C-alpha cells in the first residue's frame, strides 16, 4: 500500500449530513462530500492487511460478509491515495457496473468485513467508491463505449432494476443487441421508484441510462410484458430472454379492518411521492400524502425507514414504526464476531429526523398490528397493537402475541413495509416457467429457468435483497446467457 501506516495516522471520517431539521424541507441528497485531500486520507487508511476480507463475498452463519461483487477495494483505495483517480475508476468498473448506485444505497458489506474494523473503525469504502465514480463523471472519464463488433444475437431483458440494467450492460458490452422492457414510465425499477430521491437522486439513474442508450441498449418503457406484450412473442423474436422483474408481491397484514381506507403498501406510497416529485413537483393531490396525519409504519427495515423519512418531508403530525423483533444490541454480541455482518442497532436517516422533530425514537419493538379500526367513513382512525414475545417452535424462534398487552394508538395513514413474498405471479405464468416454494422464479443451481431459452436474475430469482446482490446476480446471469448464445464466454 502507498501508506502502510495510514490506518494508524488518520481517524475514520465520513461525509457530514445536513441537520435533520433542515433536510426534511427538501428531497435532495444530504451528504456533502469531503474535499479531495480528506478523501485521500481516508483511502490511505486501507491497510496492507494481506487477506482483504472486504472483497471476499462469503456467506457465513449469520449472513453475507464482504462485497458480493468482489470489488477490489484495496487496489482502488491505493490509487486514490496516490491521486491516480482515473485508473481507480477503471479498477472499480471491472467488478461493479454501477458504483454510483452502490456508493449511495449499499449498506457496505465490505466495511463490516474490513480488517480495520476488527479492533477499530472500518475504512470508508463506500464513500471512497462514490468519490471515485463521481470524480470520473466530473472529469469526463465516463463516456459511452459502444462495442466495436456485434454478434448478431438479440436479447430481451424484462425489468430495468439493478439486475436488469446490469444484464443489459454486460451483454451489450459483449456485442449482443439488447432491448430492455420496463412496465413503469421511467427506467430504473427499484432504483427509480423504490428508493426515495434523498437517498438516490433520479438524475443519477438518468445519467447512466443515457450512456447505456448511447452504447446501443434499447429501452422500452410503459410495456408490461405478460400483459401488454405476449411472452411467447418475445421468445420467438429474441435468442434469449432474461427475467429481472424483482420480488414485488408485498407481504400483507391479515387483520380485521384491513379493507379500511388510508392503508397502503410502502412501495405504492414511495412510488406515488417520487412520481409526483418528478412529474408535478409534489403538487397537492397528486400523491399519497402524510401531511398532518398520525402515521404508523409496519416494518423496521430500510423500506420502513424510507417511509419514515418521506413522511417527515410531507409534514406528518406523528410517525410510529412497529418492529416485530426485539431491539438489537448497540455492540456486537459474543456470538456475532467479525467478519460476520454486525447485528447491532442502527438509527437511520428517517429515524434521526423523527427524533429531531418529535423528540423520541419512532420505533416500538416487539409490536404488531392486531386490528385496524375505521371511522364512520371507512377510513383508518386508530390501531389496536399488541406486544410480542419470542418463543421456540420446532427449533425456530417465532414471535407470538402477549395476552392482555393490547393498546390503541391514533392512525390516519398506515403503511405496510413488511417485505415481499416473491415475484408477481403473472410473470412466471406468462412465460411458463416454474417458481419455488418462496414464490421466486426457479432456476436450479444457475440462472436458467425450466425453459432453456429463459433466464432469471436478481430479486425475482433470489427474493428480496440488496442492490449490490442484484448487480452481482446480473453479472453472473449475463455470463451464463453469453455462454448459451456463443458456446463460450469472456465475461467476468
In sequence order, what are the residues at sequence separation of 6 or more whose Cβ sits closer than 8 angstroms to the Cβ of residue 477? Answer: 163, 167, 242, 447, 455, 456, 457
d(CA 459, CA 124): 27
Q: What letter does residue 18 receive in the DSSP assignment?
A: P
Which of these, 163, 52, 96, 114, lies nearest to 466 by C-alpha position?
A: 163
Contact 469, 462 (CB under 8 A): yes
Cell numbers describing residue 34: 469531503
Return the pLDDT at 1.
65
Confidence of residue 9 (pLDDT cuts 50, 70, 90): very high
Domain boundaries, the chain: 6-138, 154-248+421-486, 263-416
Give 52-75 as a 3 state SS string: CHHHCCEEECCEEECCCCCCCHHH
Contact 205, 187 (CB under 8 A): yes
CA angle 478, 486, 457 (to 5 degrees): 20
In this predicted structure, the answer to whether residue 196 has a pLDDT above a threshold of 70 is yes
C-alpha torsion sign, points 287, 288, 292, 298: negative
Q: For residue 232, give the 3-state DSSP assignment.
A: helix
Return the pLDDT at 61.
76
Return the pLDDT at 96.
98
From residue 36, alpha-carbon distances to 43, 101, 141, 202, 368 in Å are 10, 20, 17, 25, 47
In this predicted structure, the answer to whether residue 62 has a pLDDT above a threshold of 70 is no
Percent of the chain past pLDDT 70, that is, above it, reads 99
d(CA 472, CA 106): 13
Average pLDDT over residues 263-272: 97
In this predicted structure, the answer to whether residue 59 has a pLDDT above a threshold of 90 is no
Q: Give me the CATH topology for the region 154-248+421-486.
A: FAD/NAD(P)-binding domain (3.50.50)
407-410 and 380-393 beta bridge pairing = antiparallel
Cell numbers describing residue 11: 481517524
Q: Angle of helix 162-174 relative to helix 467-486, nearest 10 degrees?
A: 30
d(CA 339, CA 369): 36
Q: Give pLDDT tens digits for 387-400.
A: 999 998 888 889 99
Which of these, 121, 127, 116, 19, lies nearest to 80 by C-alpha position?
A: 127
DSSP 385-408: EEEEEEEEETTEEEEEEPTT--EE
φ, ψ dihedrals at 194, nearest 5°: -100, -15
In this predicted structure, the answer to whether residue 252 has a pLDDT above a threshold of 80 is yes
Place of cell 481516508: 42
In this predicted structure, the answer to whether residue 177 has a pLDDT above a threshold of 90 is yes
Which of these, 347, 348, 351, lies nearest to 321 by C-alpha position?
A: 351
Average pLDDT over residues 445-466: 95
263-416: CATH homologous superfamily? FAD/NAD(P)-binding domain (3.50.50.60)
Higher-confidence residue of 340 and 215: namely 215
C-alpha torsion sign, points 299, 302, 305, 306: negative
| pTM, 2 dp | 0.96
Which of these, 105, 101, 181, lies nearest to 427 by C-alpha position?
A: 181
CB-side neighbour CA atoms (13 Å) of 282: 16
Bridge partners (DSSP) of residue 397 are: 392
Q: Angle of helix 125-138 relative to helix 36-44, nearest 10 degrees?
A: 140
How many other β-carbons are positioned within 10 Å of the β-carbon of residue 117? 19
Contact 300, 363 (CB under 8 A): yes
DSSP 303-336: HHHHHHHHHHHHT-SEEEEEESSPPPPSS--TTS
What mean pLDDT is reported for the chain? 96
Average pLDDT over residues 286-302: 97
- CATH class name, domain 6-138: mainly alpha
In sequence order, what are the residues at sequence separation of 6 or more whose Cβ sits closer than 8 angstroms to the Cβ of residue 443? Answer: 449, 455, 456, 461
Same fold, 6-138 and 154-248+421-486: no
Q: For residue 87, give the 3-state DSSP assignment.
A: helix
Which of these, 133, 198, 192, lies nearest to 159 by C-alpha position?
A: 192
Confidence of residue 60 (pLDDT cuts 50, 70, 90): confident
Amino acid at each position: 500500500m502507498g501508506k502502510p501506516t495510514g490506518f494508524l495516522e488518520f481517524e475514520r471520517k465520513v461525509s457530514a449530513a445536513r441537520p435533520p431539521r433542515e433536510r426534511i424541507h427538501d428531497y435532495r441528497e444530504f451528504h456533502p462530500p469531503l474535499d479531495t485531500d480528506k478523501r485521500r486520507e481516508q483511502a490511505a487508511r486501507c491497510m496492507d492487511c494481506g487477506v482483504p476480507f472486504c472483497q471476499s463475498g462469503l456467506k457465513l452463519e449469520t449472513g453475507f460478509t464482504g462485497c458480493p461483487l468482489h470489488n477490489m477495494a484495496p487496489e482502488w483505495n491505493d490509487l486514490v491515495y496516490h491521486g491516480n483517480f482515473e485508473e481507480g475508476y477503471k479498477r472499480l468498473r471491472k467488478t461493479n457496473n454501477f458504483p454510483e448506485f452502490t456508493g449511495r444505497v449499499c449498506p457496505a458489506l465490505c466495511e463490516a468485513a474490513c480488517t480495520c474494523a476488527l479492533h477499530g473503525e472500518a475504512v470508508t469504502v463506500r464513500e471512497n467508491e462514490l468519490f471515485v465514480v463521481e470524480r470520473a463523471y466530473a472529469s469526463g472519464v465516463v463516456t459511452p463505449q459502444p462495442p466495436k463488433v456485434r454478434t448478431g444475437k438479440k436479447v430481451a431483458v424484462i425489468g430495468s432494476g439493478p439486475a436488469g440494467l446490469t444484464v443489459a450492460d454486460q451483454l451489450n458490452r459483449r456485442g449482443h443487441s439488447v432491448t430492455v422492457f420496463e412496465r413503469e414510465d421511467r427506467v430504473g425499477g427499484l432504483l427509480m421508484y423504490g428508493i426515495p430521491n434523498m437517498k438516490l437522486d433520479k438524475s443519477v439513474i438518468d445519467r447512466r441510462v443515457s450512456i447505456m442508450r448511447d452504447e446501443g441498449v434499447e429501452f422500452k418503457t410503459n410495456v408490461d410484458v405478460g400483459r401488454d406484450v405476449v411472452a411467447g412473442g418475445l421468445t420467438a423474436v429474441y435468442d434469449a430472454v432474461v427475467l429481472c422483474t424483482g420480488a414485488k408481491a408485498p407481504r400483507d397484514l391479515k387483520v380485521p379492518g384491513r379493507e379500511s381506507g388510508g392503508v397502503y403498501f410502502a412501495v405504492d406510497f414511495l412510488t406515488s411521492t417520487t412520481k409526483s416529485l418528478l412529474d408535478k413537483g409534489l403538487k397537492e393531490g397528486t400523491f399519497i400524502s402524510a401531511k398532518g396525519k398520525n402515521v404508523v409504519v409496519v416494518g423496521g427495515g430500510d423500506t420502513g425507514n424510507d417511509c419514515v423519512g418521506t413522511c417527515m418531508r410531507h409534514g406528518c403530525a406523528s410517525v410510529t414504526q412497529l418492529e416485530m423483533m426485539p431491539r438489537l444490541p448497540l455492540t456486537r454480541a459474543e456470538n456475532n464476531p467479525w467478519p460476520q455482518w454486525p447485528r447491532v442497532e442502527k438509527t437511520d436517516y428517517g429515524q434521526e429526523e423523527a427524533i429531531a422533530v418529535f423528540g423520541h425514537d419512532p420505533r416500538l419493538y416487539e409490536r404488531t398490528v392486531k386490528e385496524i379500526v375505521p371511522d364512520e367513513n371507512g377510513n383508518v382512525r386508530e390501531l389496536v397493537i399488541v406486544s410480542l414475545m419470542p418463543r421456540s417452535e420446532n427449533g425456530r424462534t417465532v414471535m407470538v402475541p402477549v395476552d392482555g398487552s393490547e393498546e390503541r394508538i391514533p392512525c390516519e395513514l398506515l403503511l405496510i413495509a413488511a417485505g415481499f413474498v416473491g415475484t408477481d405471479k403473472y410473470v412466471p405464468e406468462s412465460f411458463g416457467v416454474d417458481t419455488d416454494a418462496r414464490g421466486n422464479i426457479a432456476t436450479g443451481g444457475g440462472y436458467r429457468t425450466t425453459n432453456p431459452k429463459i433466464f432469471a436474475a436478481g430479486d425475482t430469482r433470489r427474493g428480496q435483497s440488496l442492490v449490490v446482490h442484484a448487480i452481482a446476480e446480473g453479472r453472473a446471469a449475463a455470463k451464463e446467457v453469453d455462454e448459451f448464445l456463443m458456446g463460450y464466454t469472456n465475461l467476468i
